[in-house]
Structure 1
Amino acid sequence: MSSSYRIAVIGGTGPQGKGLGYRFARHGHTVVLGSRSAEKAEPVAQEVTERLAGLEGAGQVTGASNADAVAAADVVLLAVPWDGHDELVATLDLAGKTVISCVNPLAFDKRGAHGRVIDEGEGSAAEHAQSLAPEATVVGAFHNVSAVHLWGEHDYLDEDVLVVGDVVEAKQVAQDLAVAVTSRRGVDAGKLRLARVLEPLTAVLISVNRKYKVNSGIRLSGLEDVER
């Protein structure tokens, strides 16, 4: 691992946030699970800590309020529902932070999951976060990894993490963190506006999962011999 980060997971008590926090800590990063109250975050942090017991090199996991989690971190992961997203992000002091959004604005009806249309097709959750926190650097990543697999027993997920953003250095942080999940650096997939594609793509995976009773992911071919 090239760098060790102190990561605040906002939405750390939910399945995706808890699972990613576990994976990051499993590979030596320090993780603070954030919630609206420390009292809600602390027992989840204890659950993750117990899961890591006896694992050599694991990082510390604690729970805190969202504000305290952000203050103690250099990287902030947003793993919160789209409903209420803007109101929550607006309350966070994200200036100077690298912010990774894995928020998927989805909706469900009788035909299944589908992506919500954000800003008439010209926006995404990640772009909203960037507009709400202009002094932060926002990238999109980890949208399409299964929470079930993140909390599973296997060492790594056999898939790729696609990373989008407008600042190369910030994308490299997310690419580094992907190693903790897949054993491979994340894939630089382009500019932040492409979060408009990655976020609703999760609805496709949900449809596949429902059809075949699996927890599917994304793996790109043709990258085996290139440096990421």
Structure 2
Amino acid sequence: MGGTGPQGKGLGYRFARHGHDVVVGSRAADKADTVAAEIRERLEGVEGAGRVSGAANADACADADVVLLAVPWDGHDELVASLPLAGKTVVSCVNPLAFDKRGAHGAVIDGGEGSAAEHAARLAPEATVVGAFHNVSAVLLWGDEEFLDEDVLCVGDSDEGKEVAMELARAVTGRSGVSAGKLRLARVLEPMTAVLISINRKYKVNSGIRITGLDHGEA
């Protein structure tokens, strides 16, 4: 997985906590090693935890079946184009956001007809790209609760790719993620994070999204 920021670190911790082996990626391998060490320390005493290591981005991707993109939008395209992603499932949780005096809002991508996830799909045509984990709080991911009381919405043009992300969601919420439509709907999920930021500032919480009307027992 790529990303040593709060979101990437929190997701890496959750995945490893529930048995997945994780390689944290960064432009600088030593930075990835530092974050991997933080996650390993957090996992001390957790039975069944996966292995966690750090590497430069391309090396982190090389032997991975699933690559998580948890990177800033600035420089996104250059980074994604440089990675060995062919044949892999790529999960994008990149949120292109902008900020002004009125607060956070979604950056307009391709005149409103694009998203970070769609850019990744174009840059890595031989990968299976899905969007997921956009709206999960980094604070809660690094918290003490075993599972978060919210849903992970997964979008993609491949049902098999979405199933991979939906299964990974179990490490975060304790249940399958929600299949939420085609990849183009990342245009909705990515800027939705700006709405949650506004809610968090107003109510001093770490909000998430929960979908009602589903039988989660069947997920």
Does TM, scored on the shorter chain, surpass 0.5?
yes
User: Does residue 172 of the first structure (1) align with residue 178 of the second (2)?
Assistant: no
Closer, same or farther: CA 45–36 of 1 in aligned 2, 3 Å: same
Amino acid at match of 2:31: K
> 1: CA distance between counterparts of 2:198 and 2:140?
17
User: Does residue 151 of the first structure (1) align with residue 169 of the second (2)?
Assistant: no
Match of 2:79 in 1: 88
User: Does residue 215 of the first structure (1) align with residue 209 of the second (2)?
Assistant: no
What secondary structure, in the 3-state scheme, does the structure 2 residue paired with 1:41 have? helix
Measured after TM superposition, the shift of residue 226 of structure 1 is 6.7
Measured after TM superposition, the shift of residue 135 of structure 1 is 0.3
Closer, same or farther: CA 225–207 of 1 in aligned 2, 3 Å: closer
Measured after TM superposition, the shift of residue 37 of structure 1 is 1.6
Match of 1:61 in 2: 52
Of 66, 87, 109 in structure 1, the residue corresponding to residue 100 of structure 2 is 109
> 1: CA distance between counterparts of 2:216 and 2:132?
22
Cα distance per residue 1:89-143 (max 9 Å; x no partner):
0100100000000000000000000001100111000000000000000000000
Unaligned ranges ≥5, structure 1: 1-8
> 2: CA distance between counterparts of 1:54 and 1:225?
30
Of 177, 190, 196 in structure 2, the residue corresponding to residue 186 of structure 1 is 177
> 2: CA distance between counterparts of 1:99 and 1:160?
20
Contact 2:175 2:216 in 1 (8 A): no
> 2: CA distance between counterparts of 1:217 and 1:225?
17
Taking structure 1 as the reference length, the TM-score comes to 0.95
* Count of matched residue positions in the alignment of Structure 1 and Structure 2: 219
Measured after TM superposition, the shift of residue 38 of structure 1 is 1.1
Of 67, 75, 78 in structure 2, the residue corresponding to residue 76 of structure 1 is 67
What secondary structure, in the 3-state scheme, does the structure 1 residue paired with 2:130 have? strand
Q: Share of identical aligned residues, percent?
A: 78
Unaligned ranges ≥5, structure 2: none
Match of 1:10 in 2: 2
Cα distance per residue 1:171-200 (max 9 Å; x no partner):
000000000000010000000000000000
> 2: CA distance between counterparts of 1:146 and 1:64?
25
> 1: CA distance between counterparts of 2:190 and 2:37?
30
What secondary structure, in the 3-state scheme, does the structure 1 residue paired with 2:218 have? coil
Contact 2:18 2:49 in 1 (8 A): yes
Measured after TM superposition, the shift of residue 224 of structure 1 is 2.3
What secondary structure, in the 3-state scheme, does the structure 2 residue paired with 1:114 have? strand
Match of 1:3 in 2: none
> 2: CA distance between counterparts of 1:171 and 1:135?
16
> 2: CA distance between counterparts of 1:92 and 1:117?
25
Amino acid at match of 2:168: L
Output aligned runs, 1:112-151, within 5 Å.
112-151=103-142
